[in-house]
């Protein structure tokens, strides 16, 4: 069934992620190629409520594919949680004749899109833009690859210092509810321990492992901690108390993981997803999140996408244990 979507709005919502600009560019140019009018909605759902909506042209998205952040800006919007806020937002879309939306963001953004489409019958397509890779229905999210590579580069540099001084470094990476950045960057940098929120940290096991390594004169240790686990400072305090001889340092990588030019992979998946979002609206496929599974486009109903979380398999955890031994 072909839909009659003629004017589409595109927005970025929630935390920014490298590659969002590549996705915006793909949506705008694919829409224009198919004879649609495309509008950029500034500052996510806030801009929708405030009617901060601008027409987009092919030139509007020139020279942005290599830039981090998002040219449309992003914000979290409490007003959109309320029905009145969504009603006002829909009224602004209707005035402009916008009859299709592409939302680039995480599960909170998709929750808003699902509500809006349910209440006002406007087709919405979600693109997973989050560095945490915590959304089920896709092998990768826009921004994850760049964030992990940023973390890997930083941890490699820290290891040089750890090695020069025989130090134990506890490095905190982003991931409040998901340990993917910690897991991938930890394995890629040969971390001795990786602490993630998906698995309860056994402090006794951690301390005993470090004591055993100290006996074997393995003095350089890197522990990668996801921010949603115990936090690097907390872990450091316990280790300093239990192993006073360890020269322990803490490094919190923080928001550097969010910024920077997107990797080739993030630019490619964002471009594919942006193109597929417009194609889906044309084909009449509504209220789905577009993902890539086994290198093929994969469509998950928005309702399901907000409920399911990407799970970390036990195999990964086993690999960590064996390779760090």
The string of pLDDT tens digits covering residues 242-287 is 888 888 899 999 999 999 999 999 999 999 999 999 999 999 988 9
**120 and 269 fall within a common domain:** yes
The residues, any chain, with a CB within 8 Å of residue 211's CB and separated by 6 or more, are 243
Residues that constitute the known binding site: 15, 25-29, 76-77, 106-109, 130-132, 159, 167, 174-176, 190-192, 216, 218-220, 227, 249, 255-258
**200 and 242 fall within a common domain:** yes
**235 and 283 fall within a common domain:** no
State the residue for tokens 């036990």: 314
Say which CATH number the domain at 80 has: 3.40.50.450
**20 and 73 fall within a common domain:** yes
Say which CATH number the domain at 244 has: 3.40.50.460
Q: Residue 58: is its pLDDT beyond 70?
A: yes
Print the domain residue range for 107.
7-143+262-305
State the residue for tokens 């009659």: 4
Q: Which of 30, 18, 106 is nearest to 70 (CA)?
A: 18
The answer to whether 205 and 218 are in contact (CB under 8 A) is: no
Which position among 16, 132, 134, 145 bears the catalytic label?
Answer: 132
Q: Which structure tokens are listed for 247?
A: 């020269």
**168 and 198 fall within a common domain:** yes
How far apart CA 169 and CA 18 sit, in angstroms, is 27
**283 and 252 fall within a common domain:** no
Chain-centre distance of CA 281, in angstroms? 24
How far apart CA 11 and CA 41 sit, in angstroms, is 5
In the annotation, is 132 catalytic? yes
**159 and 57 fall within a common domain:** no
**Residue 218 pLDDT level (bands cut at 50, 70, 90):** low
Looking at residue 217, what is its pLDDT?
A: 67
**194 and 94 fall within a common domain:** no
Residues that constitute the known binding site for ADP: 25-29, 159, 190-192, 216, 218-220
**For the chain, how many structural domains are there in total?**
2
Give Cα separations from 41 to 13, 48, 55, 67 (angstroms): 10, 6, 9, 19
Which of the two residues, 278 and 121, has the higher pLDDT score? 278
C-alpha neighbours within 13 Å on the C-beta side of residue 109: 31
Residues that constitute the known binding site for Mg(2+): 107
**pTM for the full predicted model:** 0.93
Looking at residue 303, what is its pLDDT?
A: 86
């Amino acid at each position: 069934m072909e839909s009659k979507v003629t004017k589409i709005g595109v927005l970025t919502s929630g935390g920014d992620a490298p590659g969002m600009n590549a996705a915006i560019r793909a949506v705008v140019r694919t829409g224009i190629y198919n004879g649609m009018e495309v509008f950029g909605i500034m500052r996510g759902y806030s801009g929708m409520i405030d009617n901060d909506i601008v027409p987009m042209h092919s030139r509007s998205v020139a020279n942005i594919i290599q830039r981090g952040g998002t040219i449309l800006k992003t914000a979290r919007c409490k007003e959109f949680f309320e029905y009145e806020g969504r009603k006002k937002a829909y009224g602004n879309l209707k005035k402009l004749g916008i009859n299709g939306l592409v939302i680039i963001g995480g599960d909170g953004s998709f929750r808003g899109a699902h509500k809006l489409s349910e209440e006002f019958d406007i087709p919405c397509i979600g693109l997973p833009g989050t560095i945490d890779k915590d959304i089920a229905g896709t092998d990768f999210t826009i921004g994850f690859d760049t964030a992990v590579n940023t973390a890997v580069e930083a941890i490699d540099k820290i290891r040089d210092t750890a090695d020069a001084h025989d130090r134990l470094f506890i490095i905190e990476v982003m991931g409040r509810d998901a340990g993917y950045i910690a897991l991938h960057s930890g394995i890629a940098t040969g971390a001795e321990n990786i602490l993630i929120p998906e698995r309860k940290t056994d402090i006794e096991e951690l301390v005993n492992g470090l004591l055993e390594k100290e006996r074997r004169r393995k003095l350089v240790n890197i522990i990668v901690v996801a921010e949603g686990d115990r936090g690097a400072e907390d872990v450091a305090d316990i280790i300093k108390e239990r192993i006073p001889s360890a020269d322990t340092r803490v490094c919190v990588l923080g928001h550097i993981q969010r910024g920077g030019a997107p990797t080739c992979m993030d630019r490619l998946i964002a471009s594919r997803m942006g193109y597929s979002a417009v194609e889906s609206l044309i084909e009449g496929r509504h209220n789905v999140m577009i993902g890539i599974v086994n290198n093929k486009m994969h469509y998950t109903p928005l309702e399901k996408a907000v409920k399911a979380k990407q799970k970390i398999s036990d195999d990964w955890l086993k690999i960590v244990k064996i390779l760090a031994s």
